[in-house]
Structure 1
Amino acid sequence: MNTPTPKTEATPQDQPNWRAVGALSGVFALRMLGIFMVFPVLAVWAADLPDATPALIGLALGVYGITQALFQIPMGALSDRFGRRRIIVAGLLIFAAGGLVAASAETIWGVIAGRALQGAGAIAAAITALVADITPARFRTRAMAVIGASIGGAFGLSMVLGPLLEGLIGVPGIFLLTAVLGIAAAGWLLLTVPRGAPNGAPAATGQGGRLGLDLFRQPGFTGLTMGIFMLHMVLTAGFVILPGLLRDSTGLAVSGHWQIYLPVLIAAVLCMVPMVLKAERGTRAHGMVLLALAQVAAGLAVMAFANSSAWPVIAGLWLFFIGFTFMEAHLPARVSQVVPEDRRGAALGLYSTAQFLGAFVGGAGGGLFLGFTNIPTTLGLAAALMTLWLLLMATACRPRNS
């Protein structure tokens, strides 16, 4: 008589905790909303502050990137020792404190200090690790995509909310609101995310005792990492210029710029979605990246030569956002595809660091360059840099399995 083989049933440990993943994506989105909401309004408001110069305004916009890059690895390591939730909550409270400092600033230096403190509450590595802790390996890429989508949504929402709120509560009020968002996110985390790591997954801070610099020998990884650096460099440099450019070309006050951002972003996303679908087929992924880079470069060039005319500026902004939203959605997934599975944590850590450094270089460098030249020259330089990167990606950085 044969003994029947017992059926193997899926245990709760084999299933992702989508409720917790959703909560973590919400926490991350609230923090990034606080970072991005001042992008469309800061440059014009800060120009009236004591000691303000284009270089210091750019620094105020992008300084969060350098502190976020510097503190990401230490905060990730501390989460290994003291627990993910504690470190994420601590980072959110540091972020909230930065918002309070910036809200009470009376000079540009106070805004710089507040933004730097906001960046020091670096929780990206700890959140990524906690997502890995609560998600089985086979669901991890999907969970990371949820996090990425929430960040993209936060960026789009901030482009609309920033100008709207500027008209209602002013930029100091927006900074105060970011502090409230940080505290709210900390409370949400404590209420919705479990303490432990039910799936027994390895920590995913991406350190593993080494920095992972050998990953730059991985085909395709260098191009993707430098791509996100360049993308956030031109994004932050662009927002040193864009609020004033939109005001002068359209005649709209900054508080009315949401009327431009909202339709432009909707139109950009509608054009971006087919690109993402084509990229997911695998063989067209690299071609879609090149197309997105061309769109970003073309958008910057159109704005550079717009001569302060409204429709060319809006058209350039639309082209820029098509390429930008595609790259934001697609590049993290490509990174996880071109590196070994057991090195994804390290790869995403390096990728995020490059992104934050790009924001710092773009803000500081864009403001400094603008102080010596003018808006068309600064935008033209950004377009030239993206064109150069497009040519390099088309020739030297093509992945083997693109």
Structure 2
Amino acid sequence: MTSPWAALAVLFTARLAMAFQYQVVASLGPLFMDRHGTNLADLGILISLYLLPGLVFALPGGGIAQRFGDRRVVASGLVVMVLGGLIMWQGQSWSLQILGRLLAGTGGVLLNVIMTKMVADWFAGRNLATAMGIFVNSWPAGIALALLLLPLIAQAGGLNAALATSMVLCIAGLALMTLAYRDPPASPGGTMPSGSWPRNSALTGILIAGCVWGLYNGALAMVFAFGPAFLVERGAALTQASGISSLVLWLAVVSVPAGGLIGDRIRRPNAVLLAGLAGFAVTFALALLAPSLPVFILMGLICGLPAGPIMALPGRVLRPETRALGMGIFFTLYYFWMAVLPALSGALSEQVGSAAVAFQLGILLLALAALGTLGLTRHRAQAA
């Protein structure tokens, strides 16, 4: 395989399997609670456990890839995901569900960190924002696919059939990675040189880029985590509120790759990034003033535009020999912000007594992400 787009298709499929596996618990929550006698709080913990290993493994994941090679470590991560899925599929106790979820999430962390670096290796200097937009789109696409298929599969064959489906998708990703994927021609393809820790301007750049990505995703989390509660406060029925909030995710499947494509076509990805952040903030404000279906449709069409250009930032600040550890730093910051911000928003909303605080916080997060982007642009100009 020598085509960058064919390689991207393999990486997209593997990450889609990760997103599909992540969504299993949320999509089948009532079935998990019925089987194990748990409550919503337990379910929330099980959902969050998938991303928790990122705080521990994101940074060393880059070093592991340097030592053993990208493709080998990604394949190992998929094996761990399959093992975690197998434990959840066959495990009858809640403790085994927790163990399986943590294992699956650990494998997913390795995928997230290393495959992003692999995309940058294939597309560095050409169509990078477009490729990153497509790659990042694997996450909402996988979640949307899980929302569509898992309830139908569970209805026909029960919870075990749905869990097995997720595991089979991970196995398919593993097969593609081991049998079809090859390293890019210009890639070292194995052990990276020693002393490849980002330094000076590169380290500053990746720290800023990681914060921008974390803040942006924190703003997105405000929509999916607190949008239904906010709309219910404004008079919507729960089913209607959930449907309107989920519509943002479906439309993001379109807007995420569009942002990367537009940025590359006009050769101004940062302009698309900043415009997308500003437009997303405006839709938050419109939702606070007059929450309605058209506002959330507009939010979905705009919110994904910054994703591809943001994910292209590490490829622009890191040299090939620093990408593995650099992406570990990038994703460690992402997992940190994603652990802190939803909890902070929930505490503030509880204190104020309204989920509208989450949307107000979303505006602030997007403003901080824009400032970070401007700061990174200035930093790169000074370092050049």
Q: Which bracket does the TM-score occupy, shorter chain normalised?
A: 0.7 to 0.9
Structure whose CA Rg is larger: 1
Shift of 1:326: 1.2
Q: Structure 2 counterpart of 1:273, which letter?
A: A
Task: Choose 103-112 or 147-156, whichever is displaced more.
Answer: 103-112
Query: 1:151 — aligned with what?
Result: 136
- Are the equivalent residues in 2 in contact too, given 1:125–1:349 (CA < 8 A)? yes
Query: 1:177 — aligned with what?
Result: 165
**Corresponding position: 1:329 with 2:304:** no
Query: 1:119 — aligned with what?
Result: 105
Post-superposition CA distance 1:342-374 (Å, at most 9, x none): 544444333233333333334444455556555
Query: 2:281 — aligned with what?
Result: 297
Q: How does 1:119-268 map to 2 (within 5 A)?
A: 119-121=105-107, 122-127=110-115, 142=127, 146=131, 148-159=133-144, 161-166=146-151, 168-169=153-154, 172=159, 174-194=162-182, 199=185, 201-202=187-188, 208-209=194-195, 211-212=197-198, 214-215=200-201, 218=204, 221-242=206-227, 249-250=236-237, 252=239, 257=243, 261=246, 265-266=250-251
The alignment of Structure 1 onto Structure 2 pairs a total of residues equal to 372
Task: Choose 159-168 or 364-373, whichever is displaced more.
Answer: 364-373
Residue 269 of structure 1, aligned match among 251, 254, 257: 254
* Structure richer in helix, relative to its length: 2
For the residue of structure 2 that corresponds to 1:123, the secondary structure is helix
Q: Decide whether aligned partners of structure 1 residues 359 and 57 sit closer, same or farther in structure 2, where only a CA change above 3 A counts.
A: farther
- Are the equivalent residues in 1 in contact too, given 2:134–2:256 (CA < 8 A)? no
Task: Choose 29-38 or 325-334, whichever is displaced more.
Answer: 29-38
Q: Decide whether aligned partners of structure 1 residues 263 and 365 sit closer, same or farther in structure 2, where only a CA change above 3 A counts.
A: closer
TM-score (norm 1): 0.70
Q: Decide whether aligned partners of structure 1 residues 208 and 95 sit closer, same or farther in structure 2, where only a CA change above 3 A counts.
A: same
Residue 362 of structure 2, aligned match among 383, 392, 395: 383
Query: 1:96 — aligned with what?
Result: 82
Q: Decide whether aligned partners of structure 1 residues 252 and 95 sit closer, same or farther in structure 2, where only a CA change above 3 A counts.
A: same
- Are the equivalent residues in 2 in contact too, given 1:279–1:285 (CA < 8 A)? yes
Query: 2:60 — aligned with what?
Result: 74
Shift of 1:281: 3.0
Q: Decide whether aligned partners of structure 1 residues 285 and 111 sit closer, same or farther in structure 2, where only a CA change above 3 A counts.
A: same
Mapped partners of 1:156, 1:92: distance in 2 = 18
Mapped partners of 2:197, 2:4: distance in 1 = 29
Shift of 1:162: 1.0
Residue 354 of structure 1, aligned match among 333, 340, 347: 333
Q: Structure 2 counterpart of 1:28, which letter?
A: R
Residue 23 of structure 1, aligned match among 6, 10, 29: 10
Mapped partners of 2:343, 2:260: distance in 1 = 32
Shift of 1:287: 3.7
- Are the equivalent residues in 2 in contact too, given 1:128–1:205 (CA < 8 A)? no
Q: Structure 2 counterpart of 1:192, which letter?
A: A
Q: Decide whether aligned partners of structure 1 residues 44 and 297 sit closer, same or farther in structure 2, where only a CA change above 3 A counts.
A: farther
Mapped partners of 2:252, 2:140: distance in 1 = 15
Q: Structure 2 counterpart of 1:169, which letter?
A: A
For the residue of structure 1 that corresponds to 2:209, the secondary structure is helix
Query: 1:50 — aligned with what?
Result: 38
Mapped partners of 2:52, 2:142: distance in 1 = 24
Gaps of 5+ in 1: 1-11, 307-311
Mapped partners of 1:324, 1:270: distance in 2 = 7
TM-score (norm 2): 0.73
**Corresponding position: 1:33 with 2:17:** no
Shift of 1:229: 0.6
For the residue of structure 2 that corresponds to 1:177, the secondary structure is helix
Identity %: 19
- Are the equivalent residues in 1 in contact too, given 2:260–2:307 (CA < 8 A)? no
Gaps of 5+ in 2: none
Mapped partners of 1:21, 1:395: distance in 2 = 29
Q: Structure 2 counterpart of 1:34, which letter?
A: Q
- Are the equivalent residues in 1 in contact too, given 2:61–2:114 (CA < 8 A)? yes
Q: Decide whether aligned partners of structure 1 residues 390 and 331 sit closer, same or farther in structure 2, where only a CA change above 3 A counts.
A: closer
Task: Choose 124-133 or 63-72, whichever is displaced more.
Answer: 124-133
Cα RMSD of the aligned pairs, angstroms, is 4.6
Q: Decide whether aligned partners of structure 1 residues 108 and 393 sit closer, same or farther in structure 2, where only a CA change above 3 A counts.
A: farther
